[in-house]
Chains A and B, each alone.
Chain A
Amino acid sequence: MFRLPIGDFFERGIDFLKVHGESFFNALKESVLFIIQHFENLLQWIPWWMLILIFVILAFSLSGKKLAIFTGLGLTFIYSLDLWSETLDTLSLVLSSTLFTLLIGIPLGVAMSKNDNTQKILQPILDFMQTMPAFIYLIPSVIFFGLGKMPGAIATIIFAMPPVVKLTNLGIRQVPKDVIEAAISFGCTQKQMLRKVQIPLALPTILTGINQTIMLSLSMVVISAMIGARGLGEVVYSGVTQMKIGKGFEGGIAVVILAIILDRLTQSLGIHKKRKQNNK
């Protein structure tokens, strides 16, 4: 039977990139690794109760009493499960890959909003990226970067990219036409338009994108335990593969608590902004 050799093409493409893009991938690897390492060191260096306190204060100022209490209890609970260092691993991986995702994703979204052709090209690519099963990204990452945290981070960055790009694009395109016109009519330059009008007005939408990115990062970081990224994912993964159901379950709960805290925190970032405009 005839069979299209798409898989072969893909492999050859990867080989090609591996040979010719070596210096690029090395630079990427270095910088990502650098950030992850420092994040991790920082988090490990802060005493556990202090870190919890920082999160509680953050939760209180961004959202309120309810989230502050939940954050305090949740994190203490995780600590008491003896999963603290795994949680920090996961957290630093999530935060640093999110940082890179935003660093690449937001400018990409801006570029996409500025130009219809860019949008036409990027839109299907992003759709494609979003519908691919998550662990597909692990394969090329492993090929380029071996096992460990590094490929996990790369896979996470790629996997979590689409929502922030799309929502940045959407947010900017949704800025009312007459507001744009008004800004131009008063003599705004392109740069001023972006900084003073488009980004601020698109911010709630962009923050939604950031929230989704963080959530996707977290889910990917857990999955990338399969290629040796440590953290809570590893706890769950080993629970599954070694039939240690209890341990796996504990890891799972820790992931859920972390997810809820991160989600609510980033959501209230957007609401916080809105509230200032709505009733002061």
Chain B
Amino acid sequence: MLKLAVKNLYKIYGSKPQRSLELVRQGVSKEELLKKTGNGIGVCKVNFEVEEGSIFVIMGLSGSGKSTLIRCLNRLIEPTSGSVFIDGHDICSYDEKQLLSIRRNKIAMVFQHFALLPHKTIEENVAFGLEIQNTSVEYRHQKACDALALVGLKGYENAYPNELSGGMQQRVGLARALAIDADILLMDEAFSALDPLIRSEMQDELMSIQDSMKKTIIFITHDLDEALKIGDQIAIMKDGAIIQTGSPEEILEHPADEYVRSFIKDVDRSKILTASSVMKKPDAIITQKGGLHLAVRKMRESKMSSIFVINKDKTLQGLLTIDSALEALKKGETDVTKYLLYDIEKAVPDTSLNELLPSAVRSKYPIAIVDKEERLLGIVARVAVLSGLSGEEVPNV
């Protein structure tokens, strides 16, 4: 289900934004607009949709408008034009009261530098969103304790923010957002101020929370590894516009332009790319009943030295090499089963290239990619694993 949709969103900074908006719509660039009117482009014709329960990551260089965009989603920054639909309702048309209600119940934000209230205890900080809704003290206490337990900060209720480390403070920030039971979390570089170890820990925790609670998360980061790790969808921004949106694999495999490519050039691909992204359609297969002649001809056509054999229901049988096929032909055998190799390397589509590497080294033959029912989905040539890791186009073997 669609949780959040952004349609033709613009944000122009400066006075008389409407006039500048016309210019921007006509295609005037950021620099030109600044020279002409002194106005800056924050967000420029942005469209995207976020499914319920998914993590949408926004990336881009400094000044590309990420913070502006995410603040338009709860109207912390008033968009100049366009719509933001939450559960199908355009919040840009909301009046003050409706806006307050959506901020209090639907959408919560986590900040880069935590933004906790130094004069309040941890529990009071977490309960802040509920306090301003005038809920009862017991309810607040209960909710705050639950949220604190969720982020692993039980026992710190009465501490003050400056007594906690950065990582712990950000957990408080997260707990504060969770305490109001919002469906949508906005996280503007929420983990950027943390050191790498804590950061990775927080990412895991966020993903597990997201898994169990099905939050919809908009996440800004500068770190591609982070984006690839947690993102279901990634959007890359430049000068206020979104250049490309796609799944991590799509972004890595088919960068839209030089800008996107420069983003992904030094990513650790092995962790991100999975077997499914380098596997080929198993176009050289035969059912068991098919003749040996057919097998040999197919191998010849595809210039492969082996071929996978499957049953009618597509479950994997084994592997037939060209050598054993020729031998069988010479002997005049018709039953292939005796000549099949059964000890073959198999993997599921989600296996990362990193994990695939040992299999690729061990085996002389391609790796079979199968689903849970052992049905053959594709094959990965050994060379494809290596070229996938190096980021080259996967050659057609």
Contact = CB atoms under 8 A, between A and B. Distances in A.
Contact of B118 (A186, A188, A277): A277
Contact of B103 (A176, A179, A186, A200): A186
A192 B112 contact: no
Q: Choose among B71, B112, B116, B119 the residue with the greatest number of A CB atoms under 10 Å from its CB.
A: B119
A266 to B, nearest CB: 19
A181 B119 contact: no
A172 to B, nearest CB: 14
Nearest to B134: A192
B112 A178 contact: yes
B171 to A, nearest CB: 15
A280 B100 contact: no
A189 interface: yes
Contact of A187 (B104, B160, B163): B104
Contact of A280 (B112, B113, B160): B160
Interface string A241-280: 0000000000000000000000000000000000001111
A277 B133 contact: no
B197 interface: no
Nearest to B111: A178
Contacts of A65: none
A181 B113 CA distance: 12
A135 B4 CA distance: 65
Contacts of B107: 185
B318 interface: no
A197 B180 contact: no
Interface in B142-167: 158-160, 162-163
Contacts, number: 70
A178 B113 contact: yes
B100 A187 contact: yes
Contact of A185 (B76, B116, B162): B76
Given A196-B131, A196-B132, A277 B112 contact: no
A186 B76 contact: no
Given A201-B117, A277-B119, A280-B160, A186 B112 contact: no
Interface of A is mostly: helix
A184 interface: yes
B366 interface: no
A183 B176 CA distance: 11
A280 B161 CA distance: 11
Nearest to B161: A277
A278 B103 contact: no
Given A192-B132, A196-B132, A280-B160, A185 B119 contact: no
B10 interface: no
Interface string B45-65: 000000000000000000000
Interface in A182-206: 182-189, 192, 196-197, 200-201, 203
B103 A181 contact: no
A278 B159 CA distance: 10
Could you say which interface size class chain B belongs to?
20 to 34
B326 to A, nearest CB: 71
A200 B119 contact: yes
Interface string A36-58: 00000000000000000000000
A201 B112 CA distance: 20
B128 interface: yes
B132 A185 contact: no
A187 B129 contact: yes
B275 interface: no
B276 interface: no
Given A178-B115, A185-B76, A187-B129, A278 B108 contact: no
B131 to A, nearest CB: 7
B101 interface: yes
B317 interface: no
A202 to B, nearest CB: 10
B274 interface: no
B118 A189 contact: no
B109 interface: yes
Given A186-B180, A189-B100, A181 B128 contact: no
A181 B111 contact: yes
B74 interface: yes
A184 B76 contact: yes
Contacts of A277: 118-119, 160, 162
Contacts of A278: 160, 162
Contacts of B113: 176, 178
B35 to A, nearest CB: 27
21 contacts: A178-B113, A179-B117, A182-B115, A185-B74, A185-B76, A185-B103, A185-B108, A185-B109, A186-B103, A186-B104, A186-B128, A187-B101, A187-B103, A187-B133, A189-B132, A200-B117, A200-B119, A201-B118, A277-B119, A277-B162, A280-B163
Top 3 closest A-B pairs, CB basis? A187-B104, A187-B103, A182-B115
Interface of B: 71, 74, 76, 100-101, 103-104, 107-109, 111-113, 115-119, 128-129, 131-133, 158-160, 162-163, 176, 180, 186
Given A187-B133, A203-B119, 7 more contacts: A184-B103, A185-B107, A185-B186, A186-B129, A187-B104, A277-B118, A280-B160
